[in-house]
Structure 1
Amino acid sequence: MSTTNRADLLRPSDVDTLRAELRSLKLSTGLPILFGGTVHGADLVLSGYVGTRGRFLRNLVISSERGLGGRAIAEQRPRSVADYFASRHITHDYDRPVGGEGIESLLAVPVVVRGRTRAAMYGGLRTPLPIGDTVTEQLVQSARALAREIEIRDEVDRRVTLLDNVGACVQVGNGERLPLTVSDTITESYLELRELAAGADDPELESRLKAIEDKLRALGSSGSRVPTAHLTPREQEVLGYVALGCRNAEIAERLALSLETVKSYVRNILAKLEVHSRHEAVVEARRQGVLP
């Protein structure tokens, strides 16, 4: 029986994103050869190649602290050598595949997510010349962008797992409401997913994030009656943060709105729900199914 779970199906390939970064770097840096891979356990497995001439680097496994890339992975910072084969600062475990590609100058940049190296990208020259600061910075910025994408995907996986666990443990029907702690967790989840979607560069990932957000909303409101108050999407968003105990100033900062605009939204919410306080608004919104 297959062990593939919903997170596996939803998560776009990190390797595909790495390869896209390498292709983009080829155009922006002009480096003749670029390659990279993702980290599995303590090892880096090469899986993306641009400008290679043979199969010397195909699926090569780079051990932590071995070679230039292994050192970059272990130290979590860019490392470079202008004359690879003469360098005394790295081990030479991978001289044969490097030499097979004719590489003489090499730069390795780790992709670090929350203190853990998740991938690495290399840029190389077939002449023993230093790789300049401008090109190095381009690889570093690309590594940061890739790290951000992986971090977003990690959070999606975590939220999908939450959705599966809540769905398995809590049945909502016949008017029964979710426990408050579960309800707050769902509210927090879909609000955070919305923020992540806004920062995602991948349209496919953004679409998947939105789909998961909708599922979380639906899980929280299942079994509740049709709402009589009709809040706009922005009002629902503001109300979600109110439900989490956020003050107006914090909501304004999170949503990049002015404090007065947030106050106006809150007033509209109270009026539409026909209540007189923020607490009453949350209670009534949950009763109607406007909030989980």
Structure 2
Amino acid sequence: MNSARTDPEPSGRLRPSDDDALRAQLRLLQISTGLPILFGGAVHGQDMILSGFVGTRSNILRNLVISSECGVGGRAIAEQRPVSIADYFVSDRITHDYDPQVAGEGIESLLAAPVVVRGRTRATMYGGLRVNMPIGDTVAEQVMAGARALAREIEIRDEVDRRIELLENARDAVAGSAGVSASVSEGITESYLALREIAAHTADPALEAQLRAVGEKLRTLTAGRTPTAARVQLSERERDVLGYVALGCRNAEIAERLSLSLETVKSYMRNLMGKLDVHSRHEAVVEARRQGLIP
């Protein structure tokens, strides 16, 4: 088998617990699949630690360490594909390192679905039956859909952590110099726009609030000074459009990035240039930054 591909530990700056996200997904799967037992855990290094449980009768699985390539879950980690075993205890498709724990929960059939993020296995979710029969394709697809949903959530959290690291690096650069270099300024603007887009699409209100708070901090990092009091007010979309203008994007590219029509972008540009009382895209960016409206 291939070696398991796992991710380094997340930084955890603003990151909620990934184990909590996994438990929430298991609870959703209990409703959608009707499986009597669901459990899972996050991958750390070459091993997975079981930390989420729905429908268990004992603590025998709690904090169990699953090694890569061992058992159903280890094989799912290593191969990065779902593994389903209908007759667990006589199967020759897996190792039987964890038979006592599986037997302790009365599990006869087991499905493991890996949570793969950018080519790395970050967690695995299991669904089990206490009878010797295959887990149906419909139920298996629901478990795999749950694994994909958890992967998307972890990917969003990874991106937030990456952007926060860029923010901290930018803050250090501002503190160590009289101004901000073009590359640092561009990085701040890119991070600002990325965080705003993530905030617009996340279903987690707490995470959305955190992202928007970080976005406001990013706006204060321009020119290494506190921005002047803004004379005008730009809408959120006008700020987004102007942020991409600051990155050198043309209207067509802005429209594609923001899922807007070209005419809508042009309308935003006319409105914001009128508000700022400027006559060119460059002047609009300079004036907006002077007022602290964009990074």
Give the residue type in structure 2 aligned to 1:28: S
Partners in 1 of 2:207 and 2:76 — Cα distance? 29
* Alignment CA distance shift 1:288-1:205 (3 Å): closer
Shift in Å, 1:146: 0.6
Note if 1:290 corresponds to 2:289: no
Deviation string, structure 1 residues 68-102 (Cα, Å, up to 9, x no partner): 10000001111101000111111111111001111
Instruction: Say if 1:73 and 1:117, in contact at 8 Å, map to a contact too.
Output: yes
Deviation string, structure 1 residues 121-153 (Cα, Å, up to 9, x no partner): 000001111101111111111111111111111
Aligned equivalent of 2:63: 59
Partners in 1 of 2:291 and 2:141 — Cα distance? 53
Where 1:123 maps in the other structure, the secondary structure is strand
Alignment counterpart, residue 81 of structure 1, candidates 79, 85, 90: 85
Over aligned residue pairs, what C-alpha RMSD do you find?
Answer: 1.7
Partners in 1 of 2:235 and 2:57 — Cα distance? 56
Aligned equivalent of 1:209: 211
Note if 1:259 corresponds to 2:277: no
Note if 1:231 corresponds to 2:234: yes
Give the residue type in structure 1 aligned to 2:276: L
Give the residue type in structure 2 aligned to 1:15: D
Partners in 1 of 2:185 and 2:294 — Cα distance? 8
Alignment counterpart, residue 284 of structure 2, candidates 275, 281, 285: 281
Give the residue type in structure 2 aligned to 1:37: G
Aligned equivalent of 2:193: 191
Where 2:175 maps in the other structure, the secondary structure is coil
Tell me how many residue pairs correspond in the alignment: 284
Partners in 2 of 1:269 and 1:172 — Cα distance? 33
Instruction: Say if 1:252 and 1:258, in contact at 8 Å, map to a contact too.
Output: yes
Partners in 2 of 1:246 and 1:253 — Cα distance? 10
Give the residue type in structure 1 aligned to 2:216: D
Note if 1:124 corresponds to 2:128: yes
Report 1:31-50 matches (<5 A): 31-50=35-54
Shift in Å, 1:257: 1.6
TM-score after normalising by structure 2: 0.91
Alignment counterpart, residue 28 of structure 2, candidates 18, 24, 27: 24
Partners in 2 of 1:12 and 1:288 — Cα distance? 34
Aligned equivalent of 1:272: 275
Shift in Å, 1:177: 4.3
Where 2:110 maps in the other structure, the secondary structure is strand
Deviation string, structure 1 residues 95-114 (Cα, Å, up to 9, x no partner): 11001111010000000011
Aligned equivalent of 1:3: none
Partners in 1 of 2:81 and 2:204 — Cα distance? 26
Structure 2, gaps ≥5 residues long: 1-10
Partners in 1 of 2:233 and 2:91 — Cα distance? 68
Partners in 2 of 1:9 and 1:163 — Cα distance? 12
Where 1:225 maps in the other structure, the secondary structure is coil
Partners in 1 of 2:273 and 2:189 — Cα distance? 19
Give the residue type in structure 1 aligned to 2:272: I
Instruction: Say if 2:108 and 2:128, in contact at 8 Å, map to a contact too.
Output: yes
Partners in 2 of 1:56 and 1:182 — Cα distance? 51
Instruction: Say if 2:167 and 2:191, in contact at 8 Å, map to a contact too.
Output: no
Where 2:294 maps in the other structure, the secondary structure is coil
Give the residue type in structure 2 aligned to 1:71: R
Aligned equivalent of 2:101: 97
Aligned equivalent of 2:76: 72
Bigger mean CA offset, 223-232 vs 11-20: 223-232
Give the residue type in structure 1 aligned to 2:164: V
Instruction: Say if 1:172 and 1:223, in contact at 8 Å, map to a contact too.
Output: no
Give the residue type in structure 2 aligned to 1:190: Y
Partners in 2 of 1:233 and 1:177 — Cα distance? 26
Q: Percent identity?
A: 68
Alignment counterpart, residue 200 of structure 1, candidates 202, 208, 211: 202
